[in-house]
Amino acid sequence: MPTGVHLRDVRRQLFAAAERVLLRDGAEALTSRAVTTEADVAKGVLHRHFADFDDFLAELVRERITRLRDQAALLRAAAGTRTVADNVTATLTELFDPVSLALVSLLFFRDELRTRLRRPGDGLPILVEARTMLADYLTAERAQGRIAADADVDSLALSLIGGGHLLFASRRGTLPDERELTKVVGTVLADVLQRKLL
């Protein structure tokens, strides 16, 4: 990269490069050199914008969490529309896109990154926010009477996130069979959907 060339939105360029490396080569291949090579910038560029590589990775994950918050607002607004199972199935499919799955793997792989992102009492970043997103949505559906009034939305959200993550993570590069995902969601929600009618 020639010196003196202004890099337009270098953070975005570096984040996009990191996502490509993650998707192509996996979490173990994600290094500062791999990112800067993929972004076609000098290695020093990353260190001018971030304290160190773990700071860069933490910001990458935080950006994904911000996207989840946007998705959560849309999901809450969807309460009362379509079916509860359809909304949850669509959300899990969007939530467990290849980049999010790769970032969750990265969080398992890098202890220092997990430590930087974790707040006391929290679980794994991204999955914690995903659980909160589903619990908030199910709370809204419970308030509208579309699931049982005594539904334990936190446990339901945990089950949906855990089951969804297992389905998507076990199929690197491919989506799970839609029927399988629909079956998992239907099984987790069956009781609270049936009891709302009683």
Q: What is the rounded CA–CA span in Å between residue 13 and residue 99? A: 15
19 within 8 A of 74, measured Cβ to Cβ? no
Model pTM score: 0.86
Count of alpha carbons within 13 angstroms of residue 117, beta-carbon side = 29
The predicted structure's pLDDT at residue 13: 94
Q: 147 pLDDT band (50/70/90 cuts)?
A: very high
Q: What is the pLDDT of residues 4-21, one digit of tens each?
A: 444 458 899 999 999 999
The predicted structure's pLDDT at residue 62: 93
Q: 198 pLDDT band (50/70/90 cuts)?
A: low
- The arithmetic mean of pLDDT across residues 115-122, rounded, is 74
The predicted structure's pLDDT at residue 116: 86
The predicted structure's pLDDT at residue 28: 86
Q: What is the pLDDT of residues 33-89, one digit of tens each?
A: 999 999 999 989 998 999 999 999 999 999 999 999 999 999 999 999 999 999 999
Write down all domains in the chain, each with its CATH number in brackets: 1-49 (1.10.10.60), 61-195 (1.10.357)
The predicted structure's pLDDT at residue 37: 95
Tokens 């076990």, residue? 170
33 within 8 A of 46, measured Cβ to Cβ? no
pLDDT score of 175 more than 80: no
Q: 186 pLDDT band (50/70/90 cuts)?
A: very high
End-to-end CA distance of the chain: 67
pLDDT score of 197 more than 70: no
The average confidence (pLDDT) of the chain is: 89
Name 141's Cβ contacts closer than 8 Å, sequence gap at least 6: 79, 80, 84, 147
